Structure 1
């Protein structure tokens, strides 16, 4: 095959060999928050990050992706990269989360807009956005699903 026509491929890797029943199951925003916190970097009070949980139909966690790291006041969440990974991983549902280093739990207008965009994109691909969680350092979180924002 002519190498001029070859394109890059997104690669998804599974680290660990847990059986599906040994993986965390997400039963609501509280269990999602626990999984996110257990896998977050140590910089929650310093910089914004955006992470994604990929779930199967029974809400077992298939994987987690650190989509982006930003600065003190923001980070970029590229829906194309997020859904490329979700499709490659055969996820049927996703939960997204980002942190507010400031400690403010209130979602910004950009947070609300992004949530709408991800929900719509997921509907087109038959991948359900189950929640968008905002974490703050130490403890506390905001759940778009719990607040009826999905």
Structure 2
């Protein structure tokens, strides 16, 4: 009996109990909508210039927000975003689309080579599961950069 318990696979469990009607959910039509949602409700203005955070907006098929999840919290110049955790969150939320986001405490809105590579890896992995990466938004205290608006997403 003890041996069988030791061989059992651990699993993540999700209970899907929406607290908001689909029609009342925040709608993302453009990058500016995502930026406003992130800036006003998801990032703490008092720490936006302190250290990097990586967050993912989980969307339903109609581009309505199912939720926003924190993937990582890092240091002054970087944070580690695990592709597996990002896709796990999307799968558990039953989200067919996601928007990636992180902040740059320096105030520089332009993506680094690491930002571009990570985005490419997430897009490739998400395609295998029919999850669409709609954008990657880099935010600062003043403005934002949208990979989609700048033609940086290869769909």
What TM-score do you get using the length of structure 1 for normalisation?
0.93
How many aligned positions are there?
Answer: 149
* Residues 1:92 and 2:96 are matched in the alignment: yes
> 1:30-85: CA deviations, max 9, x gaps?
00011111211341110000000010110000111000000000000000011011
CA contact under 8 A between 1:133 and 1:143: conserved in structure 2? Answer: yes
Say which one has the larger Rg: 2
Counterparts of residues 72-83 of structure 1 (less than 5 Å): 72-83=76-87
Superposed displacement of residue 3, structure 1: 1.2
Ranges in structure 1 where 5+ consecutive residues have no aligned partner: none
User: Structure 2: which 5+ runs fail to align?
Assistant: none
2:25 corresponds to which of 15, 23, 26: 23
DSSP 3-state at the match of 1:44: coil
Structure 1 equivalent of residue 146 of structure 2: 143
**SS state at 1:50 partner:** strand
Which has the larger displacement, 9-18 or 73-82?
A: 9-18
Distance 1:121 1:73, change over 3 A: same
Distance 2:82 2:8 in 1: 24
1:35 aligned partner: 37
RMSD: 1.6
Query: Take 2:133 and 2:14, find their aligned partners in 1: how far apart are those partners?
Result: 20
Instruction: Write the distance in 1 (CA, Å) between the matches of 2:29 and 2:58.
Output: 14
The ranges of structure 1 where at least 4 consecutive aligned residues each deviate by more than 4 angstroms after the TM superposition are: 12-16
CA distance in 2, matches of 1:50, 1:75: 7
Alpha-carbon distance change, 68 to 14 in structure 1, aligned in 2, over 3 angstroms: farther
| 1:110 match | 114
Cα distance in 1 for residues equivalent to 2:81 and 2:16? 22
